[in-house]
Amino acid sequence: MSELKSLGKQTDYTFDYKPEILEAIPNRNSARNYFVKLNCEEFTCVCPVTGQPDFAALKIRYIPDEKLVESKSLKLYLMSFRNVGIFHEEVVNRIADDLIKLLNPRYLEIEGNFKVRGGISIEPFVNFGRGEFEEMAKNRLARHE
């Protein structure tokens, strides 16, 4: 794993969207279906209209195939949204697109819990399933609160 750019190295923080920060490592248990749950309780971005900060808790859940996301690279990637003007719904969809491109997971879902601003909280949810997990994705989306 010496090819990893972030893990075990000095950390250079960036606050501009950088999907190339994301890195994957081999999944040594790819013969088995299992969930990986990642929680980011301190996600921030900014409103694209007002420039005011938005705060959220993100839940990323996926069933890996051949690759796992390397967690330090995920942390740096999520931090790269800090100064990005982006709507909440777009955030979860962009993160999903980037993780799908990187990992080609069997299943992935991302739930955002954006804190109240102007009296309204926003909780976007996106998911993806391929192969045998396509039906699961449809069912989870249909049943999502």
Q: Which residues have a catalytic role annotated? A: 47, 54
**Is residue 104 a contact partner of residue 67, using CB atoms and an 8 Å limit?**
yes
Taken in order 88, 90, 96, 98, the sign of the CA dihedral is: negative
Confirm if 138 and 129 have CB atoms less than 8 A apart.
Answer: yes
Helix (H) or strand (E) holding 18: none
- Pick from 133, 137, 129, 40: nearest CA to 79: 40
CA–CA separation, 141 and 125 (whole Å): 8
State how far the Cα of 53 lies from the Cα of 125, in Å rounded to an integer: 20
